[in-house]
Amino acid sequence: MATYSSVYLGIWGVFILILIQESRPVSWDEWWTYDGISGPAFWGLINPEWSLCNKGRRQSPVNLEPQRLLYDRNLQPLQLDKHRVSGVLSNTGHGVVFAVNYNDTRHPVNITGGPLSYRYQFHEIHLHYGMRDDIGSEHAVDGYKFPAEIQIFGFNSDLYNNFSDAVNRPQGIVAVSLLLQVGDLSNSALRFFTEQLNHIQYAGKSTGIQNFPVLELLPRTKHYMTYEGSTTMPACHETTTWIILNKPIYITKQQLIGLRTLVQGEAEHSKGPLGNNYRPTQSLHHRPVRTNINFNVEGPQKCPTAYRDIYYKANSWE
């Protein structure tokens, strides 16, 4: 017998399709949110092309369990080019996004090494954050959420022409995840964004940023975790190699306050706050999460502050 929730989901899916058929043209980007009846639980019903959001087996984000990490001696150091890029910082109505302007950037920033077998070209940065300090990040560590998470996206430039071509193709996307912790002094590259927040208070607003140092966003660590997953927004394509660095970067309380003033809608229809723009964690379905931390050599030891002083161990899968 169908449960109440499954019946409700089915009715909502039919309702959405009827509305779409009766109102043309439709921009799918307007139909999803991070809460309510258009939130993550419904993404796979809103658009048939988003079915992976509900049915996929390699979805992201995930909860990273320190005791289940698998050491892989073949993992290489992660490499990002030092080139600076120019681009546009935008309030998309779903989040804060920095997209590179290829016409105004002399040298692309390539992402190589780590678990990657190909060269990936930097494309954009997404910022997820909460309206409170105990939520905001998409990935969790042992159930612990951070106030914000930065995701650096690149596309496989060895196999594909651009991000749009790569996003739904095998080994198409890499996402480098930086977890943010509250501190007295923020990451210097992060200030390129937070100093421009007054220009992007409303959805659809954007502002140019010149000479942005992508590499300087990264914390000083050679350690990371990696797994195969998906994009965390519709259509939830399962084409993403995730690399989560094993050390946080810092954001100040004042910068978080500035982010929390941003809103989802346009100035005339401001809607609610932009914050809490994170997808809940998804099941790993027995996917391995690998790491380049050699516990036999380096442990047991206290982990960086991103891991709340947990002692790491590498256990076999049950």
Active site members: 160
CA distance 46 to 18: 11
Task: Decide if 135 contacts 147 (C-beta within 8 A).
Answer: yes
Of the candidates 219, 214, 229, 237, the one whose C-alpha atom is nearest the C-alpha of residue 289 is: 229
CA geometry: angle at 317 spanning 316 and 318, to 5°? 115
Of the candidates 23, 65, 9, the one whose C-alpha atom is nearest the C-alpha of residue 283 is: 65
CA 1 to chain CA mean position, Å = 37
Q: Which two tokens stand for residue 205?
A: 């607003």
